[in-house]
Amino acid sequence: MNNEDAQKLAIMEQDVRISRAMSTIKHKIVVMSGKGGVGKSTVTVKLAEEFTRNGYRVCVLDADVHGPDIPKMMRVREPEITLTGNLINPIPTPVGATVMSIEFFLPSEDTPVIWRGPKKTGAIRQLLSDVNWEGIDVLIVDNPPGTGDEPLTVLQSIPAIDGVIIVTTAQEVSVHDVEKCINMVNQLKIPIMGIIENMSYLQCPECGKRIFLFGKDGGKYLANKFDLQFLGGIPFEKGISGDKSSASSYINTGMVKIFNKVEKYLKDGGVN
């Protein structure tokens, strides 16, 4: 057997391990965006919190190799890596969900990941195959922005994805990049649950007026253009998680409505 054939065989064997490892997960959701800075990871964390509050056993997979911020956003401090057999157990978080991230295997939080494509995709696939996914109702994957190696690896490697949630802002550049993201997912024939417009508006704390800093209705435009469900808009907030301010209460109200639509999608078997 030559090196090329050996490599193909190793990939096939890993595909089998991934399929077996993830076979017990009831629902798999991938959160994506066309560009960075739109609050995709914030949406991922808050969606995980809503699922947890409603009795689901949730794990968030941080697939952003270069910017693994999910552990910090879920307030994980000094994680302890444990094993079940040869499989790595996801790390518990104060919000109730568990999380798995490449950051847990770096020397320190500020260690840069200076890897090229094959090493990045290999790391993601190893997490998929070597983590203990037993007992998880909902896996939410926080994909890095764009349509490159890492998002493609996630979409092609995870079996039976229930659907993708696309996060955008109303900003013209974000909408433009998200169109590419939607086309990518459609080409891979993976269902899209819907569009979330993040940072839709800033609510004045004095008069309550809504200020649309990035424009208006970019998410609805995308939903109409691609015949997708508009899951909802989320205003600016002061903090990323656990904020007790009025801004956070607006966010939570928006996320509850979005969660209800996502849960209905899952219960209806993928029908919007």
- Closest by CA to 231, choosing from 184, 186, 180, 266, is 266
Question: Is 35 labelled as part of a ligand binding site?
Answer: yes
Spatial contact of 157 and 19, defined as CB atoms under 8 Å apart: no
Q: In this predicted model, what pLDDT tens digit does every residue of 119-145 receive, in sequence order?
A: 999 999 999 999 999 999 999 999 999
Cα distance between residue 2 and residue 24, in whole Å: 35
Which tokens hold the place of 112?
Answer: 């840069």
Question: Is 219 labelled as part of a ligand binding site?
Answer: no
Pick the CATH number of 26-267 from 3.30.565.10, 1.10.760.10, 3.40.50.300, 3.40.190.10: 3.40.50.300
Where in the chain are the domains?
A: 26-267
Question: Is 40 labelled as part of a ligand binding site?
Answer: yes
Question: Is 46 labelled as part of a ligand binding site?
Answer: no
- The pLDDT of residue 249 is 44
Question: Is 96 labelled as part of a ligand binding site?
Answer: no
Question: Is 36 labelled as part of a ligand binding site?
Answer: yes
- Closest by CA to 198, choosing from 182, 213, 184, is 213
- Binning pLDDT at 50, 70 and 90, where does residue 271 land? low
Q: In this predicted model, what pLDDT tens digit does every residue of 22-64 receive, in sequence order?
A: 999 999 999 999 989 999 999 999 999 999 999 999 999 999 9
